[in-house]
Structure 1
Amino acid sequence: MKKFAVFGNPIAQSLSPTIHQMFANSSQEQISYQKREAPVNGFAEAVAAFFADPQAVGCNVTVPFKEQAYAMAVHRNPAATMAGAANTLMYNDDGELCAFNTDGIGLVADLHAAGINLAGAKVLILGAGGAARGVVHPLLDAGVGQLDILNRTVSKAAAIANKADNDKVRAVDTPQLLNHYDVVINSTSASLSGEVPPVPDRLLAGCELAYDMVYSKDGGATVFMQHAATLGATQQRDGLGMLVEQAAAAFAIWTGKQPDTEGVIDFLRGS
């Protein structure tokens, strides 16, 4: 049986075992997928112990270990390199540890599921943390026309833009904002504390999609989504689809099979 795991601290809240078991059922794969809480100072040892099992195929990584996972790897995909962090690990046939960041792949897939055409789209990202870093490369691959990053500390946004080394990516302050963005993405965790990151109302009012990377545990709209809806954003969407889609990308890396995601998302929303 193929064995998988997700490492984090804490990890009890993770939906990954449910998601991947549903993927396996729909893909005719026999798997075991477990939550593993690694010691804060013992992540590398915990991962090594997991992969010592000959049935171990790959693992996911969540906070606070994504940067360590990236540093441990011999090979990294471009999104992981851009982010300096990885959420997916596996060994290749040469016995070398490979790191991937699938967050941006998950975001792009969920934006497409919302009916957004990213080719030439003007996108604004709110926040300049790890969540923002992880999605820049896949958004560029999807063909966005402009990718602006707005953050309270402009230097943090500038660091992401400089690393991207692409004319389409800018760190901006409020006066530099465009008059219109097709998609406004909240990559901050502000909604979890009932707050909305600072962004001019006109941008949310005129956007096609206001997207919050976090999601409400009870399935309701996040504070950011509610705010955008009040202002008149055409669509509002949370990050549950992104969570499932990034997991699907990891599952495909490990197994070579692209699982169905729509049914999993519906199940997690309780519909």
Structure 2
Amino acid sequence: MVNLYKNKFYAVFGNPINHSKSPDIHNFFYKLYSLDYKYIKICASKNFFLKDILSFFNKGGKGANITLPFKEKIFSLCNEITKRAQISGSINTLKKFDNGNILGDNTDGIGFLSDLLFHNIVKKKFNLLIIGAGGAAKGVIYPLLQFGCNIFLTNRTFERAKILSNKFKNFGNIESITLRNLSNMRFNLIINATSSGISNEVPLIPCNIINKKTICYDMFYGDKNTVFMNFCKSYGAKKIYSGIGMLIHQAAHSFFLWNNIFPDIKKTVNFLSKK
């Protein structure tokens, strides 16, 4: 098939996708390192997304990021899959090699841990509460356990938390806990891995587990503080963070996979803060 892309092209696939900041981040990386590449966003069909992604690669695309709702559905596209993608059960990064093979990777987890380390808000043996047992939680648990954190997993439907914690129990200290049993617990870091921010709702956690020493992180992000961040702040939390840092870091790890260059995070943060 004829290569329709004169330069190296990369893309993010999702549905919806208009909100994505990934093109801003990656095109800034390319400008920063004077690379004549381009990164675009593509709204893939929910029924024919595999065909859309393959078409992109057949036309000369070199790499892609995958976001909701396709992360857990593209394993069949890949000739090779990294260990961290296999363990997490989801893929957010694809790389096409010169021989035509496609590698599937997951940079969400390492991107999340990198952002925590960037802000110096995680240490070994920290007690972490993760709220939610969906794809977002699944993608970050393995690197956090490998780092040495103790994870407590809760979810509105407890059975889902139990199933997910059992999946990762061989990789470190993780246990599931019901929402009603959280009141007597204390955590160094509370992570919202639910999609509650989309509907401007707050997860049903007891407010007494939050105090001025509690670090709170919402994996959801927007142009201002999320509802969860404001909720935590109202109960005394001084250190609150959104998922924009995770987005930057997972993008950086994808960029490294494609170009063997790890981009400057501080310059990227400054760039995004001015947009």
Instruction: Give the TM-score normalised by the residue count of structure 1.
Output: 0.91
1:139 lines up with 2:144 in the alignment: yes
Aligned to 1:57: 62
1:257 lines up with 2:261 in the alignment: yes
CA distance in 2, matches of 1:41, 1:193: 25
Identical counterparts, % of pairs: 37
* SS of corresponding position for 2:72: helix
2:18 to 1, 5, 12: 12
Change (3 A) 1:2 1:253: same
- What pairs with 1:1-271 in structure 2 (closer than 5 Å)? 1-54=7-60, 56-92=61-97, 95-144=100-149, 146-166=150-170, 167-174=172-179, 176-177=181-182, 179-205=185-211, 207-217=213-223, 220-270=224-274
Deviation at 1:24, TM superposition (A): 1.1
Change (3 A) 1:194 1:156: same
* SS of corresponding position for 1:120: coil
Deviation at 1:92, TM superposition (A): 3.9
Contact 1:8–1:37 at 8 Å: present in 2 too?
Answer: yes
AA paired with 1:46?
D
**Deviation digits for residues 23-64 of structure 1 (CA, Å, limit 9, x no counterpart):** 11222322011112222221111121111134x221111122
AA paired with 2:49?
F
CA distance in 2, matches of 1:206, 1:160: 30
Instruction: Give the gaps of 5 or more residues in structure 1.
Output: none
Which stretch of structure 1 is more off in the superposition, 121-130 or 169-178?
169-178
* SS of corresponding position for 1:12: coil
Deviation at 1:90, TM superposition (A): 1.2
Contact 1:78–1:137 at 8 Å: present in 2 too?
Answer: no
CA distance in 2, matches of 1:163, 1:112: 25
Change (3 A) 1:207 1:133: farther
Contact 1:4–1:34 at 8 Å: present in 2 too?
Answer: yes
CA distance in 2, matches of 1:163, 1:245: 25
Deviation at 1:94, TM superposition (A): 5.1
Contact 2:96–2:102 at 8 Å: present in 1 too?
Answer: yes
CA distance in 2, matches of 1:163, 1:76: 19
CA distance in 2, matches of 1:170, 1:206: 25
Which stretch of structure 1 is more off in the superposition, 239-248 or 7-16?
7-16
**Deviation digits for residues 180-214 of structure 1 (CA, Å, limit 9, x no counterpart):** 11100001121232211012222222543100011
AA paired with 2:127?
K
CA distance in 2, matches of 1:234, 1:78: 36
Which stretch of structure 1 is more off in the superposition, 243-252 or 5-14?
5-14
Contact 1:124–1:149 at 8 Å: present in 2 too?
Answer: yes
Deviation at 1:259, TM superposition (A): 0.5
CA distance in 2, matches of 1:3, 1:32: 5
AA paired with 1:152?
R
Contact 2:15–2:43 at 8 Å: present in 1 too?
Answer: yes
Count the aligned residue pairs.
267
